[in-house]
Amino acid sequence: MRRSGSGPGRGNRSRRSPVAHRCRASVSATGSEVVIEALAHGGEGVARLDGRVLFVPGGVPGDRIVAHRIRWLGGGSFGRVLQHERRVASPLRREARCPHRPRCGGCPWHEIEPEARALAKVDDAVAQLKRMASIDAAAVPRILDPQLAPRYGRGGRSIVRVDPEWGYRLRARLRVVHDGVRVRAGFSGQRSTEVIEIDRCGLLLPALGEATVRALELARSRGWPPGKLHVAAGLNPPATGAVFVASQGAALGPASGDLRAAGFDLVEACAAGSIADPAAPSGAARGLSGVVAPLGADGPFHHDALTFVQAHAMGNRHLCEAVVRCAAECAPRRILELHAGAGNLTLALAQADAHVRAVEMEPRAVRYLRSNLAQARLADRIEVMEADASEVEQLLHDRPRRFDLLLLDPPRTGYRELEILSSNMLPDRIIYCSCDAVTLARDCRPLSRLGYRLSRFELIDMMPNTWHAEMVAVFDRSIAV
Ligand SMILES: C[S@@+](CC[C@H](N)C(=O)[O-])C[C@H]1O[C@@H](n2cnc3c(N)ncnc32)[C@H](O)[C@@H]1O
């Protein structure tokens, strides 16, 4: 490794190295050779140059690279490599199987061996909990039985392995842009605003992949309005049910007919806000609702492309199983569930024979939630609240302290109100499902002060080929308050 002298902001001005001078301008040209040591939260490789962390997009542990340009950030305390050349490839690399890599941002860990990248997710989660919340997640027992759930594991680290790693994704968000000359439609680029036009996507469930490519062709040829394009398929494999396409642009008008004319079975294209009432029986017939929910439901599970659905059907089964098992352990009578979505975990929880108050903010999801519960004949035991989960007073005004289980499954941004909520009601158990280790760790920081300890922790490799994992963290109140 070529070593440069003191870094920006660290050395005496007169003794500063040429590299340090260039660092002051924030972007520096170097020729430094570094080795990628680890994978960071966010997916980049991590290397070190003169003791400072360098983030290397696309870097895999074991790669030896020459950094040609570095943007220095944080006053020069760390940097991001803007341009590099790989000298030696890591043994953890595998051949890219998608022709759109590395430009497409859809599966950033595509070229990393599955076990290595899965264990990197464990390391990330454990490190974030330790660093931000002083929680030793590595010492905590797991939830799922290894006999039931296959695992990647080594040296005390483990994560539930979820198959298949290709052809699984049940939803995606694409973009349509007009560049002045023509309409471009595709996925967002890796760390760029570029739109990557694809002719196939191996990550999507095959039926959804086909529908997506055809929808993109139509978007280009018919000049669909700019905006986001959401695609989704039904929740359970094999997804024989609906594929949904929804454009965020202006009304599509005849495009919906285009899609049908293009031969999609059970496909609907529609403008945001103009989807037919999902509770109406004709909704299902027109392909607006999904197939079968994994646990707890005995009929179709309704959702659409604009309503959240877990990305991997098999991973979702593991998630539901973990939640059901952890809920059953405390035999709850009253459960408060936040971020209920269309009722995926609500239906699973209903097995616990408890009264559930399910809170969801999105009106579309609430409509699906209600219809999914009605169909499963659970509407009497489950009270649906269309509310913002951050308005804790509203959620608890009538029965403070009466819930004995809190289940939360917030979006990636997390749930900052845990401190207020838990101090108000202090349920015996909190189950926090999360797809982001940083926000999970941030939100759980106050829990030990409030008398909780992490008693179960599970990672599920729900989104193979990406740096994301699903986590289930269970906190129990360990002291009487
Ligand atoms: C990660 S999804 C989980 C949905 C559901 N638990 C599932 O497994 O499909 C998060 C859900 O939280 C909802 N949400 C986001 N912010 C919210 C808020 N402030 N209050 C209530 N719900 C919210 C979203 O609409 C979405 O349905």
Q: Would the CATH topology of 13-88 be identical to that of 171-285?
A: yes
Residue 255's pLDDT is: 40
Q: Indicate whether 297 pLDDT > 70.
A: no
Q: Which of 360, 391, 468 to mutate to test the pocket of ligand 1 (most atoms within 8 A of CB)?
A: 360
User: For 62-106, what is each residue's pLDDT tens digit?
Assistant: 999 999 999 999 889 999 999 999 999 999 999 988 889 888 888
* Integer CA distances (angstroms), 71 to 74, 77, 174, in order: 10, 11, 29
Q: How far is ligand 1, taken at its centre, from the CA of residue 409, in Å?
A: 6
Of 109-113, 338-342, 353-357, 476-480, minimum mean pLDDT range = 476-480
Amino acid at 47: A
Q: How far is ligand 1, taken at its centre, from the CA of residue 407, in Å?
A: 12
pLDDT above 90 coverage of the chain, percent: 46
Q: Whose CA is nearest to atom 8 of ligand 1?
A: 344
Residue 234's pLDDT is: 67
Rounded distance between C-alpha atoms, residue 206 and residue 269, angstroms: 18
Going by C-alpha positions, the residue among 225, 230, 249, 239 that lies closest to residue 306 is 230
User: For 26-52, what is each residue's pLDDT tens digit?
Assistant: 888 788 999 999 999 999 999 999 999
Which residue reads 């040591």 in tokens?
37
Name 350's Cβ contacts closer than 8 Å, sequence gap at least 6.
Answer: 296, 356, 376, 378, 381, 382
Q: How far is ligand 1, taken at its centre, from the CA of residue 307, in Å?
A: 9
CATH topology of domain 171-285: OB fold (Dihydrolipoamide Acetyltransferase, E2P) (2.40.50)
CA-337 nearest atom, ligand 1: 6
Structure tokens at 432: 């926090």
CA-307 nearest atom, ligand 1: 27
Say which DSSP state 93 is in. B
Say which DSSP state 189 is in. B
Q: What is the pTM of this model?
A: 0.85
428 in Cβ contact with 404 (< 8 Å): yes
Greater model confidence, 248 or 195: 195
259 in Cβ contact with 267 (< 8 Å): yes
Rounded distance between C-alpha atoms, residue 44 and residue 34, angstroms: 14
The gap between the terminal CA atoms of the chain, to the nearest Å, is 56
The pLDDT-based confidence of 24 (bands split at 50, 70, 90) is low
Q: Provide DSSP, 199-257.
A: S--SSB-HHHHHHHHHHHHHHHHHTPPSEEEEEEE-SSSS--S-EEEEESSS--TTHHH
Greatest mean pLDDT range, 220-229, 304-313, 424-433: 424-433
CATH topology of domain 13-88: OB fold (Dihydrolipoamide Acetyltransferase, E2P) (2.40.50)
Name 205's Cβ contacts closer than 8 Å, sequence gap at least 6.
Answer: 167, 168, 169, 170, 233, 237, 239
Q: Where are the domains of the chain?
A: 13-88, 117-164+311-477, 171-285
311 in Cβ contact with 237 (< 8 Å): no
The pLDDT-based confidence of 400 (bands split at 50, 70, 90) is low
Q: What is the mean pLDDT of residues 211-239?
A: 73
Residue 401's pLDDT is: 57
Q: How far is ligand 1, taken at its centre, from the CA of residue 361, in Å?
A: 7
Q: Whose CA is nearest to atom 4 of ligand 1?
A: 341
Rounded distance between C-alpha atoms, residue 76 and residue 25, angstroms: 10
SS3 for 18? Answer: helix
Instruction: Spell out the alpha helix ranges (H) of 144-191.
Output: none
CB atoms within 10 A of CB 181: 6
User: For 234-248, what is each residue's pLDDT tens digit?
Assistant: 664 434 344 566 655
Greater model confidence, 14 or 243: 243
Burial class (CB in 10 A: 0-12, 13-18, 19+), 86: middle
Q: How far is ligand 1, taken at its centre, from the CA of residue 472, in Å?
A: 15
Q: What is the mean pLDDT of residues 104-128?
A: 94
Q: What is the mean pLDDT of residues 385-401?
A: 79
Q: What is the dihedral of CA 430, 435, 441, 447, to 10 degrees?
A: -10
Residue 225's pLDDT is: 72
Structure tokens at 350: 């209903």
SS3 for 305? Answer: coil
CATH topology of domain 117-164+311-477: Rossmann fold (3.40.50)
Greatest mean pLDDT range, 222-231, 232-241, 319-328: 319-328
